[in-house]
Amino acid sequence: MRFSYNNIKFKRHPYENWLVISGEVTNESGKNFHAVVFRILVFIKTTPIGNIIVPIKGFQVGQTRTFEAPVGEVDYKMLEQISRYEIYPESAY
């Protein structure tokens, strides 16, 4: 499955002190899906600090969808320490 990820950003949750990740995913797979579940891992150096699941329903070929999800209960003050993230499709049908 092929997807592209753009405009990935971290910010503070509007009401809590949590960290939130947002961005866009484009379906470049050549297939329409009823649903795709993406997993996002957030790291400080080599240590994962966040494990997020983002479901997207009704994901058509060529379509770009936005997402926004809290990074567990990770305090937004940890933002400067984040060294990388990984996003990948975990399942699709």
Tens of pLDDT, residue by residue over 7-27, are: 999 999 988 899 999 999 999
Q: How many CB atoms lie under 10 A from the CB of residue 38?
A: 20
Q: Is the pLDDT of residue 1 over 80?
A: no
Q: Is the pLDDT of residue 81 over 90?
A: yes
pLDDT classification of 49: cutoffs 50, 70, 90: very high
CATH 1.10.3470 fits 3-92, yes or no: no
Q: Is the pTM of this model over 0.85?
A: yes
Task: Using the structure block, give the residue that is written with the tokens 């070929």.
Answer: 61
HSE toward the beta carbon, residue 65, CA cutoff 13 A: 18
Which has the minimum average pLDDT: 18-22, 57-61, 72-76?
A: 72-76
Please state, in angstroms and rounded to a whole number, the distance separating the CA atoms of residues 21 and 33: 23
Residue 12: predicted pLDDT: 93
Domain boundaries, the chain: 3-92
